[in-house]
Amino acid sequence: MSENITKESIIKEENCVYKRTNLLVDKALSYCPGCGHGTAHRLLMEVLEEMNIQSETIGIAPVGCAVLAYEFLDIDMQQAAHGRAPAVATAVKRLMPEKFVFTYQGDGDLAAIGTAETIHACNRGENITIIFINNGIYGMTGGQMAPTTLPGMKSSTSPYGREVETMGNPLKMTELVAQLPGTYYVTRQSVHTPGNVRKAKKALRKAMENQKLNKGLSFVEIVSNCNSGWKMTPVQSNKWMEENMFPFYPLGDIKVPVE
Amino acid sequence: MKELRLMKGNEAIAEAAIRCGADGYFGYPITPQSEVLEYLMAERPYEKTGMVVLQAESEVAAINMVYGGAACGKKVLTSSSSPGISLKQEGISYIAGAELPCVIVNVVRGGPGLGTIQPSQSDYFQAVKGGGHGDYRLIVLAPASVQEMADFVKLGFDLAFKYRNPAMILTDGVIGQMMEKVELFESQPRLTKEEILKQTPWATVGKTPDRERNIVTSLILDSAIQEQHVNKLRDKYIEIEKNEVRYEKIQCDDAEYLFVAFGSSARICQKAVDMGRAKGIKVGLLRPITLFPFPKQVLFELADQVKGILDVEMNLGQMVEDVRLAVNGKVKVEHYGRYGGMIPSPDEVLLALENQIIGGK
Ligand SMILES: Cc1ncc(C[n+]2csc(CCOP(=O)(O)OP(=O)(O)O)c2C)c(N)n1
Ligand code: SF4
């Protein structure tokens, strides 16, 4: 071992291949280890940093595990009532059209209590970005059934598995909003492998860039894990997600702008 | 320039909003206040002052749009009527918790439930005692004329921004629908970005390098800090009670009997005062203009002077509880009410005074 190798000699600008974005507050995330929320936060902040729009962006946090997103994202943020983020964002964007506005919502927030606000913001073609974290469960309140819970999937309010006859079918909100003339770009991504992380980041970048075009709403679903709610280890949960969530919620673009 | 016009109360709300430089209105149709949105859509203020007008998908969406706009330091308002105001309550509670300024208009109709589209004052409790969840207060203004409908939009915004607190205009279908002469105040421009930064430095307008990020939230998970926050709100409400009580005294100087009434009931009582005086009954009227803060002190003092008080409301008896608290047992306080959309006549009110207070002594 050479004596001159020190920490300082290694940590140099020219050796740097990856660095934590400056737009994440230096604070431990409140998410469970292994949860996709943290990765999604990081990607979004990397996108804002690369676009250099920190001072131009207003984020709307939901009610759900991401309610505290404003603790971690170093931008101006509002915390909206459960499900109402698209309405809140609508006003922010209408009143300050030159700003970039996004909502960050879970499946309970976006696809159950906030269904009306989601559909109408999409249908009006608000020039905002909706980021939809679909983990098929209510994480924050302790793992209850979500509108996106898969048939047969167990949760604390479907302890024997979701019975579609009595509990209804899972809702494919992303396919639904893609039908609306007001959406401009609709895609479904995941953040559980390096390859998917890269794709998801591209999608988020595009969704934010689209706001400059004034052509309508960009909707990015991220199918994610809730290892705590699913009662699995992070590794098991990602495997379970690939095997069960992806067949029902296939990844990829659903509506792409015709250039 | 000041301008005289004949207009409906609801139209006066809308015109006043444009004139006081409002940045946005978000609403959903409901009788008897739909003229507010209709007037704004017909006037197209977005082409003149840049004011945003949007018909939301529901009252729930509309109040949350108000939340979003107010959190950006913008001057925003919404209007609705009773069932719609019930739907807005979660949002109003969030707005109060996050200390955002805004104006909410309730053109009350009779209830409960879908009730009737006819006028009522049955949302007094909801407006004054909370309505939504948690420990909070609204500043509540009760106009009794179309003139005051216009003026209180401006006053409501001034108070809302002064105290960072939502202000409600509590009116009813009578004032909303009737036409009167209004002297409209001079138009003032909407605030510029720089003025907004100065007036509301806490607003979410984009984090610049010279400051920490701005966060608008009503979530405080640590109970000790939540308690401190509620204490801060309490101190603000005490301050409002100290500074902002407004009322009108009509023929009270020599009064032996007193009506207490707000809004359209006060208009009816005013007529009853004249009729009573013509009959030789020395009766006066105290009209609370602010329902929160309630004019407790003046009532406490009048209670030493008069022999009895008749509270007149278009409900089962809501404000009367506050009147009794203020009077503190010094004199008899009775309630006379019509409800379900029925409006009392001045004769009826005077007769009630004679029967319940003068005769019933
Ligand atoms: C009006 C209202 N109803 C219910 C709740 C309770 N609640 C908080 S978070 C939540 C569900 C969150 O689930 P999801 O949106 O899927 O987000 P996740 O926590 O899984 O990220 C519920 C029902 C609330 N806060 N407000
Ligand atoms: S409960 Fe689920 S969604 Fe919430 S932080 Fe934990 S793993 Fe993530």
- Name the domain boundary from B155, B175, B194: B194
CA B302 to chain centre: 24
Of all residues in chain A, the percent with pLDDT exceeding 70 is 98
Let me know if residue B341 belongs to a domain: yes
User: Which residue, judged by its Cα, is nearest atom 7 of ligand 2?
Assistant: A226
If one counts every other C-beta atom within 10 angstroms of the C-beta of residue B245, the result is 17
Looking at residue B360, what is its pLDDT? Answer: 65
Decide: A132 in ligand 1 pocket, CB within 6 A.
no
pLDDT of residue B57: 98
Q: How far apart are CA B281 and CA A47, in angstroms?
A: 76
Considering chain A, what percentage of its residues have pLDDT values greater than 90? 91
Torsion angles phi and psi, residue B249, rounded to 5:
-105, 125
CA B357 to chain CA centroid, Å, is 29
CB < 8 Å to B215, chain A: 70, 76-79
- Shared domain for B44 and B143, answered yes or no, is yes
Which token pair is A55? 């001072």
Q: Are residues B172 and B73 in the same domain?
A: yes
B257 and B153 within one domain: no
Q: Which tokens is B88 given? A: 């807005």
- Does the beta carbon of A99 lie under 8 angstroms from any beta carbon of chain B? yes
What per-residue confidence (pLDDT) applies to A4?
79
Residue B134 sits in the same domain as residue B38 = yes
Q: What is the pLDDT along chain B (361 residues), one digit of tens a residue?
A: 679 999 999 999 999 999 999 999 999 999 999 999 999 999 999 999 999 999 999 999 999 999 999 999 999 999 999 999 999 999 999 999 999 999 999 999 999 999 999 999 999 999 999 899 999 999 999 999 999 999 999 999 999 999 999 999 999 999 999 999 999 999 999 999 999 999 999 999 999 999 999 999 999 999 999 999 999 999 999 999 999 999 999 999 999 999 999 999 999 999 999 999 999 999 999 999 999 999 999 999 999 999 999 999 999 999 999 999 999 999 999 999 999 999 999 999 999 999 999 986 5
pLDDT in tens, A26-45: 999 999 999 999 999 999 99
DSSP state of B162: H
Residue B263 lies in a domain: yes
The number of domains in chain B is 2
Residue B227 lies in a domain: no
Judge whether B218 lies within some domain. no
Give the model's confidence band at A259: pLDDT under 50 very low, under 70 low, under 90 confident, else very high: low
pLDDT digits (tens, 9 = 90+) for A200-214: 999 999 999 999 999
- For residue B342, being part of any structural domain is answered with yes
Do β-strands A137-138 and A57-61 pair in parallel, antiparallel, or remain unpaired?
Answer: unpaired
Domain-embedded: residue B206: no
Stated pTM of the model: 0.97
B213 vs A76, A84, A95: nearest CB: A76
Which of B91, B206, B217 faces A99 most closely, judged by CB atoms? B206
Supply the pLDDT for residue B313: 98
**pLDDT score of A19 more than 90:** no
CB contact under 8 A, A81 and B56: no
Q: Which of A181, A207, A210 is nearest to A123 (CA)?
A: A181
B221 occurs within a structural domain: no
Peptide bond into A234 cis (omega under 30): no
Q: Where among B156, B178, B194 does a domain terminate? A: B194
Q: Are B187 and B49 in the same domain?
A: yes
Report whether residue A86 contacts ligand 1, using a CB cutoff of 6 Å.
Answer: no
Nearest alpha carbon to residue B130 among B237, B224, B27, B231: B237
Confidence band (pLDDT; 50, 70, 90) for A68?
very high
B215 with A57: Cβ contact below 8 A: no
Chain A, 164 to 193: residues with Cβ < 8 Å from chain B are none
Res A140: pLDDT? 96
pLDDT bracket for residue A258 (50, 70, 90): confident
Task: Mark which of B155, B179, B194 sits at the end of a domain.
Answer: B194
Q: Which residues pair with B216 in a beta bridge?
A: A78
B27 and B176 housed in the same domain: yes
Which of A29, A39, A68, A82 is the pocket-test mutation for ligand 1 (most atoms within 8 Å of CB)?
A82
The span from the CA of A43 to the CA of A195, in Å, is: 13
Give tens-digit pLDDT for A130-145: 999 999 999 999 999 9
| Per-residue confidence (pLDDT) for residue A1, from 0 to 100 | 52
Mutate to test the pocket of ligand 1, among A32, A141, A223 (most ligand atoms within 8 A of CB): A141
Interface confidence, given as ipTM, is 0.96
Mutate to test the interface with B, among A30, A48, A77, A95 (most CBs of B within 10 A): A95
Question: Per-residue pLDDT for A232 more than 90?
Answer: yes
Q: Which residues contact B182 (CB under 8 A, 6 or more apart)?
A: B4, B5, B6, B7, B12, B146, B147, B149, B150
pLDDT at A160 (0 to 100): 98
Residues paired with A231 in a beta bridge: none
Contacts of B66 in chain A (CB under 8 A): 91
pLDDT of residue A2: 56
* Residue A10 pLDDT grade (very low, low, confident, very high; cuts 50, 70, 90): confident
Which contacts qualify for A65-68: CB closer than 8 Å, 24 or more apart? A65/A30, A65/A31, A65/A35, A65/A37, A65/A106, A65/A139, A65/A140, A66/A37, A66/A104, A66/A105, A66/A106, A66/A133, A67/A140, A67/B219, A68/A30, A68/B219
Nearest to B302 by CA among B250, B351, B266: B250
- Judgement on whether residues B264 and B350 belong to the same structural domain of the protein: yes
| CB A106 less than 6 A from any atom of ligand 1 | yes
What pLDDT shows up at residue A15?
81
B205 within some domain: no
A223 pLDDT higher than 90: yes
Q: Is the minimum CB–CB distance between A92 and chain B shorter than 8 Å?
A: yes
| Terminal Cα-to-Cα distance of chain A (whole angstroms) | 56
Q: What is the mean pLDDT of chain A?
A: 96
The CATH code of the domain that includes B331 is 3.40.50.920
Residue-range domains of chain A with CATH: 32-255 (3.40.50.970)
Strands (E), A81-154: 100-106, 129-134, 137-138, 144-145
CATH of the domain at B159: 3.40.50.970
Same domain, B51 and B181: yes
Domain that holds residue B278: 247-358
Same domain, B259 and B151: no
Distance B240 CA to ligand 2 centre (A): 42
